[in-house]
């Protein structure tokens, strides 16, 4: 009995709820891994099996099929829970529950099948549907970032290697580095989905012996049964060889693809967090949003931080199927079951969350060109020294003498920056030195930031035209969805 202030039976807040569902994930991905989807799919698989068996000559009536069809979603979850508590077997609990509302069909439900007929085949359907939910979301992120890259294809910005100032690039070109990783992920997700096959109708150890007995040794009918049910479930192919389960290496392939996506998003959002610290780029920040309970001026990149936090979780989940596949004995052991209930669902839920969050970020990225320009001015004089030397040589100067002059002036300017906290005054020092009078009129053009970005703008245009936009074509009908984060 519930006590005052204690956990009541109806109090949803008195028990742990995974924040993946209660706080973050989309309703459609939450439903994909729900019990209603799972057990509703079990019933559909039992219907497919009965329909196929009937079509191949087993004594199953139209009335029995119609009774099953009428009760596909009429699931008494309370009765199923009571049955499972009594039987300690989830599949048989739902066989009995389905049979209770289909008394005429009760004798042919699950005919010839083993638990993995519904369990594994449902998992494969859910994984396929999960990919189909993720793919348009990933395509939308790529599309939003492609728009951003095109808009800022020509805006010079300081490049970083080792997080130290390096040659200039452009804001759009840097974004294309992010997009390229995500395009690889899009291809990997499509491949992961398309490589999935159905477990099909295989029996207890994968030999189809029970079905061969049902059809009195007719191998062709057993093979056709497998093909029919596979097609009804929406798959083009089934695994020819299985044990009791489909190979658990399939789960490795699926979660490896999602882990790779997690790595991409972690890198992108880390870059955004670093750029936010530099005040060059910020993620969206809402009018009433609070960055810190103690420091009211803070504008923390919390969306990018959330992506990084959850991406780390996603990356680690692939360890579960790796270990599970390695310890499966012979045709199967049940130590895979509880682990897979957790890691498969969490991988797709987490991928769903970070894609939705990244879409929200990419739809509202804010760029501060003046801040970017100021940082370029601080570093560009050092980068321009080689161009200045070449210009002096063309004007008749000696390369070695010029090099020494600039070395001395550069050290003086660096001292002002590092020891006095001043601005980089190298160009002012060059202007003041009579030695450089032959090129004084060309200094501005030698310091034009756009002359230091190489072919970055052209690379952006070609990349978007030749690689990105063609890849997004199949998803054009789903590009209009915008993301508003609940939290």
Active site residues: 162, 292
**Hey, how many other C-beta atoms are within 10 angstroms of the C-beta on 163?**
7
Which among 354, 137, 325 has a CA at the least distance from the CA of 259?
354
Asked if 384 contacts 72 with a C-beta cutoff of 8 angstroms, the reply is: no
Asked if 318 contacts 230 with a C-beta cutoff of 8 angstroms, the reply is: no
| C-alpha span between 447 and 260 (Å, rounded) | 40
Helices marked H in 74-170 — which ranges? 77-87, 90-101, 115-151
CA atoms within 13 A on the CB side of 157: 25
Asked if 378 contacts 447 with a C-beta cutoff of 8 angstroms, the reply is: no
Q: What angle do CA 349, 28, 188 make, to 5 degrees?
A: 55
Helices marked H in 237-368 — which ranges? 249-277, 302-317, 319-326, 337-362
The H-or-E segment that residue 443 falls in is helix 443-446
Asked if 80 contacts 139 with a C-beta cutoff of 8 angstroms, the reply is: no
| C-alpha span between 135 and 476 (Å, rounded) | 12
| C-alpha span between 348 and 25 (Å, rounded) | 9
What is the DSSP secondary-structure string of 388-414?
A: HHHHHHHTT--HHHHHHHHHHHHHHHH
Beta bridge partners of residue 156, listed in sequence order: 170
């Amino acid at each position: 009995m519930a006590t005052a202030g204690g956990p009541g039976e109806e109090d949803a807040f008195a028990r742990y709820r995974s924040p993946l569902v209660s706080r973050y994930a989309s309703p459609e991905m939450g439903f994909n891994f729900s019990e209603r989807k799972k057990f509703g799919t079990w019933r559909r698989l039992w219907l497919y099996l009965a329909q196929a068996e009937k079509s191949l000559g087993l004594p199953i009536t139209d009335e029995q099929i119609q009774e099953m069809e009428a009760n596909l979603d009429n699931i008494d979850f309370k009765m199923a829970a009571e049955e499972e508590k009594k039987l300690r077997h989830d599949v048989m609990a739902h066989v009995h529950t389905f049979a209770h509302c289909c008394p005429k069909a009760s004798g042919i439900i699950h005919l010839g099948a083993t638990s993995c007929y519904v369990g594994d085949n449902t998992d494969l359907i859910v994984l396929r549907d999960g990919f189909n939910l993720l793919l348009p979301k990933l395509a939308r992120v790529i599309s939003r970032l492609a728009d951003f890259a095109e808009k800022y294809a020509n805006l010079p910005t300081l490049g970083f290697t080792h997080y130290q100032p390096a040659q200039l690039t452009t804001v759009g070109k840097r974004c294309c580095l992010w997009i390229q990783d995500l395009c690889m992920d899009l291809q990997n997700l499509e491949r992961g989905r398309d490589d999935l096959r159905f477990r099909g109708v295989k029996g207890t150890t994968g030999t189809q012996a029970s079905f061969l007995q049902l059809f009195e040794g007719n191998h062709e009918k057993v093979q056709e049964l497998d093909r029919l049910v596979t097609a009804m479930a929406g798959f083009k192919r089934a695994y020819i060889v299985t044990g009791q389960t489909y190979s658990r290496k399939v789960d490795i392939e699926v979660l490896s693809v999602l882990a790779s996506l997690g790595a991409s998003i972690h890198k992108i959002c880390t870059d955004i967090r670093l750029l936010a610290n530099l005040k060059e780029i910020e993620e969206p920040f809402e009018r009433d949003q609070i960055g810190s309970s103690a420091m009211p001026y803070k504008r923390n990149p919390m969306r990018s931080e959330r992506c990084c936090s959850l991406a780390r979780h996603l990356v680690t989940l692939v360890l579960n199927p790796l270990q599970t596949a390695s310890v499966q004995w012979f045709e199967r052991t049940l130590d895979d079951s509880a682990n897979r209930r957790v890691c498969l669902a969490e991988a797709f839920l987490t991928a769903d969350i970070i894609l939705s969050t990244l879409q929200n970020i990419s739809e509202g990225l804010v760029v501060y060109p003046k801040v970017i320009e100021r940082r370029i001015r601080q570093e560009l004089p050092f980068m321009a020294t080689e161009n200045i030397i070449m210009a002096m040589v063309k004007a008749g100067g000696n390369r070695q003498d010029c090099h020494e002059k600039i070395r001395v002036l550069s050290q003086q300017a660096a001292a002002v920056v590092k020891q006095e906290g001043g601005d980089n005054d190298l160009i002012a020092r060059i202007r003041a030195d009579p030695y450089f009078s032959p090129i004084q009129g060309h200094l501005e053009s030698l310091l034009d930031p756009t002359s230091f970005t190489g072919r970055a703008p052209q690379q952006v245009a070609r990349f978007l035209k030749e690689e990105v936009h063609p890849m997004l074509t199949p998803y054009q009908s789903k590009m209009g969805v915008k993301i508003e984060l609940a939290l």
